[in-house]
Structure formats: C-alpha cells, structure tokens
Amino acid sequence: MAGIDVGGHGGKRNLNHEIPLIPFIDFLLCLVAFLLVTAVWSQMARINADAKVPGPPRPDEPDEIKPEKELHVEMRGDKKFQLVWKEGATVVNTIDVDRKAVNMGTEGDITFPALAEKVTSEWKNNGNHKAPTDKKFDRAVLHTDNSTPFSDVIAVIDAVYAPQRDFTLGAKAQKLPAFNLTFAVN
C-alpha cells in the first residue's frame, strides 16, 4: 500500500489516505494490452495505395482506362432472359433468350439449357479473359426480383457457370467456370 499526504496543518483534520496500488497497476496493464491490440488491428482498415499514384503522365501507359465488359443476366420476366453486355454504363449488346425450364429428376430441380448454351456462345465471342495463364475471370451480374424462386436462381447460376475455361496456376492446369458471378442490389 502507498500513502498520500494531502495536508492537515493548522487544526484541520488529517487527510492521509492509503491507495491500493495492485489493482491500479492491473488496470494500467489491461489498458496497455488493449492499446497494443487495437494498434495492431488498426492496420487492417488501411487501403493499399500502390495502385496508380498521381504524377506526370507516362508515355507507355494509355491515358484512359477502358472499363471491362460485363455480362448482365436479367431474369425479371416470366417469358425470357435478357443478356446484356455492358462496358461501364454503356450497353454494348442485348440478347433475348427464351425462358424454358427443363425438369431434372424427381426433386423438382430445373435447368435452363438454352440459357447455358447462349451464355457459352456469348463468352466465346465476347469474353475478355480466355488465356490459361490469365488470373482474372470475366464478370457476370445477376439481376433478379425478390419473388424469384430459389430453384430458378440456382438454375440460372448453373447456366452462367456452364462455359468452362482452362486455368493454369504453376504446373497445375484445370477447367474452371469462365465467369465470376455477383448479384445486383435492388
């Protein structure tokens, strides 16, 4: 225990108090540990700034970066799918595909073979990333209503994953879906 003398002269009562130092030291150690942990995790929220640093233009780089083409699969209607190729906000091409479901098995699973065939042919004609050593994949965006049955969504995902491409990583070669699929936000 430690003591602190805060006076008591001139007839006033003595104000000596004893302070328990062990709990105070425990509190400080916990505070130091908390600060160390938060300092380490604060590194996670930082953004890497190694992409493109502002500076004078370089003659070997193009001035304008063209956005890549994306395949947008819209399944909002009951009669057809709409495949839309876009470069940024610009629509490049639009294709309509009949929405004909084919039943698979007895559990109610369905497929859309016409959609899978059209997505495959469109990727072969318009896909950007076809080389086996290319680590990027083409992007597909699925637009759907909130009322679309889950089985239909899964069947469309399977149709978008139908085109396969060769992918080589080191000495290992394999077939992977040509598209990375994301969902559009309503």
User: Using one digit for the tens of pLDDT, what is the confidence trace for 135-170?
Assistant: 888 888 888 888 888 888 888 889 989 898 888 887
pTM score, two decimals? 0.62
Q: How many CB atoms lie within 10 A of CB 31?
A: 10
pLDDT tens string 43-66: 555 555 555 555 666 666 666 677
- DSSP code at position 45: G
The two three-digit tokens of residue 47, written as one number:
């953004």
SS3 125: helix
Please state, for a pLDDT cut of 90, what percent of the chain lies above it: 4
Q: What is the mean pLDDT of residues 110-114?
A: 88
pLDDT exceeds 80 at position 83: yes
